[in-house]
Each structure stands twice: as structure tokens, then as C-alpha cells.
Structure 1
Amino acid sequence: MIASDISSGVERLGEMIAEASIIVPFTGAGISTECGIPDFRSPGGLWTRNRPIPFDEFVASREARNESWRRRFAMETTFAAAAPGRGHRALTSLYRAGKIPALVTQNIDNLHQASGFADDHVIELHGNTTYARCIGCGQTYDLGWVRQRFEASGNAPDCATCEEPVKTATISFGQAMPEDAMSRATELARQCDLFLAIGSSLVVWPAAGFPLMAKNAGARLVIINNEPTEQDDMADLVIRHDIGDALGPFVAN
């Protein structure tokens, strides 16, 4: 069912939240756009301005690694200034009320953690851009460590332990999805009775399979997104309105 207007959509969503025992949110870039973080696919999005750098290119080319870090540091002000929005805060309210055991996100901005979710209860399918990791041994690094060495030498640094490349702790095109995160997301999708797909275009697989997995396991499916998705016909409720407006009423005072 597609909500005819925002008020009827919010009312029905409230009823479904009240009736649910286990709610699993699945969030995409749309939940963070009101926080000042641009999405990737929309007109004017990051990928319309810069071609994504695939993982194999990052590994093979020092210039690709340098360009990847130049882009990341160019976005540092944007990421540093971003604070959780109404959507993040609403989900945190439901989390603190015991309705949400954990959430699954395609986002890399750390805003769910900043809004009050415990690190272990944020399942990041595409990693996290607020720190770095060696692609060889897995050693983690603060971005300040990377930036200091990058600016001093003009080249992206290698790991101090194993000398393999260091990249943001995100999942690039062609890089294997994190097995533990995929396993935990699968378990959550199968055990919930309400699955909220929020701000995702639902076109990136295998992540886009989780709403269908939850629906097939018997959960109600709600899709909140400004634009239509290919899974709208499967949903019990579709709210095509601003995410902050749709979720704002659920922020606890």
C-alpha cells in the first residue's frame, strides 16, 4: 500500500511499530542527506562527479590509491560537520525502547553510532569511512595518521606492520562483502516481524535482498524513500516522502 499522504503514512507506520515485537531497520544514503552528506546515485551525487575506483584498481595502482585518499580528505569537512538527523534519532528512540535489537546499514558515515546505537548493534554492509584499515593484515588506523603521512610524502601510506596498502574501512566495488555482517543481517531479516527499508534505492545487491528475505520469512515490509523502488509492490506500506518528516514523529522527547 502506498500512503496517499504523509499523515496517513505516519499514522499507519505508528500502528505497525506498536504491533511489532522485533523491528529491523535497513538504511541507505537517503537517511543522511538531510545531515549534509550527499548520496551516490542521484543527480549531483558523488558518482556523477567522480567515477568510483574499483578495489582491484586501488590495489594495483599507487595513483589510484592517491586519488582515493585525495577524494576522502576533500570530503572530511562534510563528514566532520554531519550530525544525526531526525531519521537517525527516531531509530535510536525505538532502539532504546527495546523495539530494535540492531540495524543494518549501507551507509559509511558512522551517524547511527553517533545517534546512540552501540557499535556492535550497527551492522555495516559497506564499511565505515571514519577510520582506515590495512587490506592485508587488517590493522586499523586513525585518519589523522594517514593524512599526516599522505601530506608529508604525497603518497598514500602503506601499513606500518605488513606494508600492504591502507584504505578507508569501506567496501569498494569488486571487494568481498564482509561475511560476518552479511551473516548477522541475514539472521536479523529472518527473525524480525517488521522490516523498515529507509532511504535505499534497493538496487545494490546482495544488500537489496534483505527486505525480500524478511518479507518471505513473514515480516511486514515498510519502504520509506523519496523515489519509487523495484520492491514497492512487495511492501505492506510505502511512504514516498521526506524521511525526516516520516520518522520525525517517532523521536522520543
Structure 2
Amino acid sequence: MSGIDSIEAATESLAAAIADAETVVALTGAGVSTASGIPSFRGDGGIWEQFDQRDFHYRRFEADPEGFWRDRLDLREAFYGGGETEPNAAHRALADLERGGHLDAVVTQNVDGLHRAAGSETVVELHGTNREVECVECGHRLPVEAAFDRAAEGELPPRCEGCGGVLKPAVVLFGESMPDGPTIRAHELAGRSDLFLAIGSSLQVQPAAGLPARAQRSGATLAVVNLEATPVSDRAEYDLRADVTEALPALVEAVG
């Protein structure tokens, strides 16, 4: 059997398992968004080869919010290339699975907001979202574009128009505690899933890296869809080494 035939057979088998499962949960990582033009943070050509992670540490934000926001403008340019990003075929496929009643939730390590933009409704954003900022004093949130426009015009740091507090990107910065709500929700979903999909993630960063094991301990079938091997690939019932933008639409078609 050729490699292509093997992938097609595995896709058909996994599609049947998805169709039969009562609760399917997907975990997604940077590999789902690279086809939308968003670079990964780690690895060759990743964001952290261009920038010093220490510049985006929570301690830096607290001590020097002006410098933090100046560097954040440069990071945004590198991250988005100065233009808008759109969901790709992988994002749309997951939204299609949810609309068809075959996917209960997406847990994502990504902060780009593309799952929601694609139409996914039940999304747990472990690391927050780049699409909003929040006031560190009153917690008010607003679209990120307004804050970046003001920062680009010289308001460094941009401040809350309500209370005057400093605005912070609504993402988890280095050195900042993970929010309890999304983390607890992700573990609950993994624990009650009977089929867990790990998609486009290297599974190197906690707490996401521990979710496949959490699902398996509760009896879930584990499927990995990723170009490279992951730390859990050898114990996954399905291990598809494939481009997620090709593999996920094929899964949707096979599920029917």
C-alpha cells in the first residue's frame, strides 16, 4: 500500500470514528494557522528568531509599558505582515464539523482568532486572543485595532478611556499566569471526550501538551494530524502525517 493510499485509508477510518463518537474535541496549534500567513513562534523562521522573548515578558510590561507597546507594534507587523489574515481550509473544515454536529469544541493554543472568524462557535482560547486588548485596572475590553492605532499615533502606552488604566494585549504574556477558566474548561472537555483530535500542534507547551494524555486516561481515542511526529504520536490510535489544510477537508468529506 502506497503512502497516499495509507493516508486515505486512515482518513476514512478516522472519519468513521468521528461519525460514531458522541463527544469529539479538537486541540489546535500553530500548524493550523501557518497557511493563513501567520508564522509559528518556534522553529526555523519562527517569530522568536526575530524578536527577544524577554521584551514581551509580563515584568517588562509592568516596568516599561511604553517600551513594551513600541516593541509590540513591531511584533504585530511581523506577525500579520501589515495585512489582514483570513481563515484557511483547516479552520473552515473544523467549523463545518461543528455545524454538522460532529465536533463539540475547539481548544486552541493560537491567539489569532481565526477559528471564530471561520464560524466555530465553541472555542476555548488557552492563551487569549490578539484581537482584543484589556484594561489592567477595570478589565474593560475593546478591539485591538483601536489600541494599535492610538499606539502608532504616539499614545504609548494606550490607556483605557474609561478609567485611564494601561491597556494590555488580551493574551497570556511570558511570566503571566494562565487564566483558570480556559484551562479548567479545556481539561473538562478533554476528560469527557471519547475522541480527541490533536491538530497542527507540536505538543511541547503546557497545559495543551497534557490534554491528549488527559483524554486518553478517560478512555478517549486519540488522533494526531500533523506534518511532524509529536510526543504522543506513538501512542495515538490515528497518526496522520499530513498537511492539515488537506487532511481536514478530506475528513469532512469522508464524514459526510
TM-score by length of 1: 0.90
- Name the SS of the counterpart of 2:130 in structure 1: strand
The unaligned stretches of length 5 or more in structure 1 are: none
Could you report, residue by residue, the CA deviation over 1:157-180 in whole angstroms, capped at 9, with x for unpaired residues? 122334332122111111111111
Change (3 A) 1:80 1:169: farther
What does residue 179 of structure 2 align with? 178
What does residue 94 of structure 2 align with? 91
- Name the SS of the counterpart of 1:223 in structure 2: strand
Q: Distance in 1 between matches of 2:82 and 2:101?
A: 29
| Superposition map of 1:151-190 within 5 A | 151-153=152-154, 155-190=156-191
Shift of 1:72: 4.4
What does residue 65 of structure 1 align with? 68
Shift of 1:107: 0.7
| Superposition map of 1:132-143 within 5 A | 132-143=133-144
Q: Distance in 1 between matches of 2:59 and 2:90?
A: 35
- Name the SS of the counterpart of 2:153 in structure 1: helix
Shift of 1:80: 4.8
Shift of 1:222: 0.6
Q: Distance in 2 between matches of 1:9 and 1:206?
A: 28
What does residue 19 of structure 2 align with? 18
Q: Does 1:220 align with 2:226?
A: no
- Tell me, yes or no, if the aligned pair for 1:132 and 1:141 is still in contact at 8 Å: yes
- Tell me, yes or no, if the aligned pair for 2:92 and 2:118 is still in contact at 8 Å: yes
- Name the SS of the counterpart of 1:24 in structure 2: strand
Total equivalences in the alignment: 250
Could you report, residue by residue, the CA deviation over 1:143-192 in whole angstroms, capped at 9, with x for unpaired residues? 23213321332522122334332122111111111111111111111111
Q: Distance in 1 between matches of 2:172 and 2:135?
A: 13
Q: Distance in 1 between matches of 2:210 and 2:8?
A: 29
- Stretch deviating more after TM superposition (190-199 or 77-86): 77-86
Q: Distance in 2 between matches of 1:88 and 1:151?
A: 31
What does residue 112 of structure 1 align with? 115
The unaligned stretches of length 5 or more in structure 2 are: none
Shift of 1:90: 1.5
Q: Distance in 1 between matches of 2:4 and 2:208?
A: 25
Shift of 1:106: 0.5
Q: Match of 2:224, as an amino acid?
A: I
Q: Distance in 2 between matches of 1:42 and 1:166?
A: 30
- Tell me, yes or no, if the aligned pair for 2:130 and 2:144 is still in contact at 8 Å: no
Change (3 A) 1:51 1:203: same
Q: Does 1:36 align with 2:31?
A: no
- Name the SS of the counterpart of 1:103 in structure 2: strand
Shift of 1:79: 7.7
Shift of 1:3: 9.6
Could you report, residue by residue, the CA deviation over 1:29-67 in whole angstroms, capped at 9, with x for unpaired residues? 101111111111120011111122111111111343223
Q: Distance in 2 between matches of 1:163 and 1:33?
A: 36
Change (3 A) 1:230 1:4: farther
